[in-house]
Structure 1
Amino acid sequence: MDKKFDMNGPLVLVRGAGEQASGVGWTLAKAGFQVVMTEVAKPLMVRWPVCFGTAVVQGTWQVEGMSSRRVEKPDECETAWNEGVIPVLIDPDLEYLTELKPTFLVDAILAKRNTGTRRDMALRTIGLGPGFTAGEDVDLVVETNRGHHLGRLIYAGPAEPNTGIPGTIAGFAKERVIYSPKAGVFRAVRSIGEQVEAGECVGVIDDGMGGTQVLATLHGVLRGLLLNDTLVGASVKLGDIDPRGKKEYCSTISEKARAIGAAVLLGIMESGLLSPISLKTR
């Protein structure tokens, strides 16, 4: 049976329900906040086992003991919260913002640019990573670049610029990411958690004219791979290979997502918007 969590605190709207956003949502829900997450109708999540956004496709999903459920309208959120479940809305343009009236809004899309978040959308707005400037389009920015400053709260100015290079793990950076060679429908032939060798086929892209193999880029554990039968464009991220080779990392929240989630929680707690009774003791 799923563990139930008491969510009675202020409402936090998290834009995005991918890997890093899910680390934020998991942390805040565990802390007792009422969290609602928004996603696109057809999310492209390679690490979908640890993404609450997987509920968009599956209906429900669980990440490390915390459950999420796709809901169709804001009035379904209350039931989900009472059950200790994070509601996930298909609402990329925040059309339900005025109905939800969040106290806090966290833009966790990680698009490397601001896709429409404004400071007036909530009493306090937080942007993750490049594309946001604290004091201008959001109140606070959280650094998302791996390294010494990961999770740092920025009160004025932007995060570090986007490098265009994935974070380094065990000495590998861009080599560990698999991209689509062309547009088409992706069909997986390997599964997340499996050991793969460089050059092995992990999937096929079918463009209607024939299939093109998608090859592993190095040796390691297939930590992420798009869901089967996903329509993709050219040069879209399809998978992620972890050279550390630990299968258990595939189904647990990463150190990066945990650090970002903790930073967002700190940014909310120090906002001055919470009274001593805002969060009920569980």
Structure 2
Amino acid sequence: MENKLVMNGPIVLVRGAGEQASGVGWALAKAGFRVVMTEVAKPLMVRWPVCFGTAVAEGKWQVEGIQARRVEDPRACEGVWTAGEIPVLIDPDLEGLPVLNPSVLVDAIMAKRNIGTKRGMAPRTIGLGPGFMAGVDVDVVVETNRGHDMGRLIYSGTAQPNTGIPGVIAGFSKERVVYSPKAGLFKAKRNIGEQVFAGDSLGTVDDGVQAEDVYSAISGVLRGLLRTDTPVAALVKIGDVDPREHEEYCWTISDKARTLGTAVLLEIMEHPLTEVYVLKVNRQ
């Protein structure tokens, strides 16, 4: 018998469908919420195998047993939910918001700033990371900085400021992340899941004049790498080398994404849905 995911709960709109947003979408979908995710037309996703946003390019994409499907119109979401899937809509400006009319809106773009989310967009609004003020921009902020407070729910104030320093994994921080040396078109030379060594070329960035190689600074498993033919700006994250050398980590949701997804699910469940529905009706 097919074990199809049942998604018939309240609608939750998740802005963004990258790595951390996908952890949120996955947790909420498993809990039965009707999750819809929005993305830009050409999203930048280093760990694209575990991003529902990959459905933008592929049409559909599965992450840990849950499938996402690109839709062209918000009215198509109901059929996707019935199939036990997450609809992904190319709608960065939320033009489909009046049609979707979500009970909860989660900004998981991880832009380190608020690029347009407002409390009035849904009865309950949640923002991930710095750039949001709880009680002003959104109802709740979720701490995204690694450490003791990661996943903490903030009801007054802001998350910790962006440090610009990648989290430490097996003693490595900045060294494990690969950035574009200039703006141009990225061409991948290696594949996610491969063993790489310090000094290996992972790809090139071509600005139309010259192609410049991009090298790994450490040895490990290539956990993330932008897809080939992706246009990038200068100093954009394009790769992630994991010194722990567990290939299986490349294909599963990270500890951080799971923590953030669990935190958002907890926040929603802590507030009676009847309360959300009453607010929703009153705002219409």
Using the size of structure 2 for normalisation, the TM-score is 0.95
Give the equivalent residue in structure 2 for 1:86.
Answer: 86
Instruction: Return 5+ residue gaps in structure 1 as ranges.
Output: 276-282
1:9-51 deviation per Cα after TM superposition (whole angstroms, max 9, x unaligned): 0000000000000000000000000000000000000000000
1:68 and 2:68 matched: yes
Give the equivalent residue in structure 2 for 1:143.
Answer: 143
Give the equivalent residue in structure 1 for 2:23.
Answer: 23
Distance 2:17 2:246 in 1: 24
Would the aligned equivalents of 1:2 and 1:67 in 2 still touch at CA under 8 Å? no
Give the equivalent residue in structure 1 for 2:133.
Answer: 133
Would the aligned equivalents of 1:143 and 1:150 in 2 still touch at CA under 8 Å? yes
Give the equivalent residue in structure 2 for 1:179.
Answer: 179
- Give, as a single letter, the amino acid of the residue that structure 2 aligns with 1:74: P
Give the equivalent residue in structure 2 for 1:34.
Answer: 34
Give the equivalent residue in structure 2 for 1:107.
Answer: 107
Would the aligned equivalents of 1:2 and 1:66 in 2 still touch at CA under 8 Å? no
Quick one: structure 1 residues 61 and 172, their matched pair in 2 at CA, closer, same or farther if it must change by over 3 Å?
same
- Give, as a single letter, the amino acid of the residue that structure 1 aligns with 2:61: W
Shift of 1:273: 2.5
Structure with greater helix share of residues: 2
1:190-239 deviation per Cα after TM superposition (whole angstroms, max 9, x unaligned): 00001111110010111221211110121111000001111111111101
Structure 2 counterpart SS, 1:157: coil
Structure 2 counterpart SS, 1:234: coil
Count of residues paired in the alignment = 275
1:161 and 2:180 matched: no
Distance 1:274 1:185 in 2: 49
Give the equivalent residue in structure 2 for 1:212.
Answer: 212
1:247 and 2:247 matched: yes
Instruction: Return 5+ residue gaps in structure 2 as ranges.
Output: 276-284
Identity %: 70
Distance 1:64 1:160 in 2: 30
Using the size of structure 1 for normalisation, the TM-score is 0.96
Distance 1:22 1:224 in 2: 15
Structure 2 counterpart SS, 1:150: coil
Distance 1:174 1:272 in 2: 42
Structure 2 counterpart SS, 1:12: strand
Would the aligned equivalents of 1:3 and 1:65 in 2 still touch at CA under 8 Å? no
Shift of 1:271: 1.8
Structure 1 counterpart SS, 2:273: coil
Would the aligned equivalents of 1:46 and 1:238 in 2 still touch at CA under 8 Å? yes
Distance 1:218 1:25 in 2: 32
1:122-148 deviation per Cα after TM superposition (whole angstroms, max 9, x unaligned): 000000000011111100011000011
Structure 1 counterpart SS, 2:69: strand
Distance 2:217 2:60 in 1: 32
Quick one: structure 1 residues 237 and 113, their matched pair in 2 at CA, closer, same or farther if it must change by over 3 Å?
same
Q: Which runs of structure 1 show a deviation greater than 6 angstroms over 4 or more consecutive aligned residues?
A: none
Shift of 1:2: 8.0
Shift of 1:182: 1.0
Structure 1 counterpart SS, 2:257: helix
Q: Please tell me the root mean square deviation across aligned C-alpha atoms, in Å.
A: 1.2
Distance 1:2 1:184 in 2: 45
Give the equivalent residue in structure 1 for 2:192.
Answer: 192
Distance 2:209 2:253 in 1: 38
Would the aligned equivalents of 1:3 and 1:66 in 2 still touch at CA under 8 Å? no
Shift of 1:272: 2.4
1:223-271 deviation per Cα after TM superposition (whole angstroms, max 9, x unaligned): 0000111111111110111111100000000010000000000100112
1:226 and 2:226 matched: yes
Distance 1:140 1:2 in 2: 37
